[in-house]
Amino acid sequence: MATKNLSEVGTGQIPDASEMRFGIVVADWNNEVTGSLLDGAVKTLKKHGVSKENIVVKHVPGTFELTLGAQFLAEYDDLDGVICLGCVIQGETPHFTYICQGVTHGITQLNLEYNIPFIFGVLTTDNLQQALDRSGGKHGNKGDEAAITALKMAALQREME
Ligand code: DLZ
């Protein structure tokens, strides 16, 4: 069966993360959605042992700003990973495409330039309902999945060191 939820694959491999420190950068645009993604990510990190003090949350205006916000976090703090959370909803103009392209490219670049994982927790949906369904609704919470991915990638990096 196709994988639909990153929280359900290989969860047995998630190590104790009590020594880990993560940054979360969250876009305020569509904040009813991104606020729920943030809640899910924080809850999941804590569930796996990350202390409140080791979760650094920073807000940026929109998804386009996630890349620079994430770079600031990586430059100014000593982190095991950065989770980027945003929500881009299709509108009447091509703005959606440009924002999605910009942030996808930006986060990819950060992954290659820094030796820590930057996780792509950005919803790109046709409408608000699809976004609500994926931020604590009937399709789960992609913030949880972003946190699980961060934990796994940080553990992989530690294993390789
Ligand atoms: C301008 C804009 C639009 C139209 N739509 C969204 C969106 O759906 N989701 C989102 O996170 N941000 C949106 N923005 C704001 C841009 O991300 C960015 O903040 C501005 O273009 C300023 O750089």
CATH of the domain at 154: 3.40.50.960
Total structural domains within the chain = 1
Other CB atoms closer than 10 Å to residue 49's CB: what's the count? 15
Rounded CA gap, 74 and 69, in Å?
Answer: 9
Calculate mean pLDDT across residues 102-106.
98
Atom of ligand 1 nearest to the CA of 93: 4
Which has more confidence, 102 or 16?
A: 102
Answer yes or no: is 66 within a domain: yes
Share of the chain above pLDDT 70, in %: 92
Q: Return the pLDDT at 25.
A: 98
Ligand 1, atom 9: closest residue by C-alpha: 88
- Please say whether the beta carbons of 119 and 62 come within 8 A: no
Answer yes or no: is 33 within a domain: yes
Atom of ligand 1 nearest to the CA of 103: 17
> Could you tell me the distance, in angstroms and rounded to a whole number, from the CA of residue 33 to the centre of ligand 1?
14
Task: Say yes or no: CB of residue 30 within 6 Å of ligand 1.
Answer: yes
Q: Which residues are catalytic?
A: 95
Nearest to residue 144, comparing CAs of 18, 4, 7, 8? 7
Q: What is the mean pLDDT of the chain?
A: 93
> Could you tell me the distance, in angstroms and rounded to a whole number, from the CA of residue 94 to the centre of ligand 1?
11
Answer yes or no: is 13 within a domain: no
> Could you tell me the distance, in angstroms and rounded to a whole number, from the CA of residue 133 to the centre of ligand 1?
20
Q: Do the bridges between strand 140-141 and strand 135-137 make them parallel or antiparallel, or are there none, so unpaired?
A: antiparallel
**Which DSSP state fits 142?**
H
- pLDDT class of 8 with cuts at 50, 70, 90: low
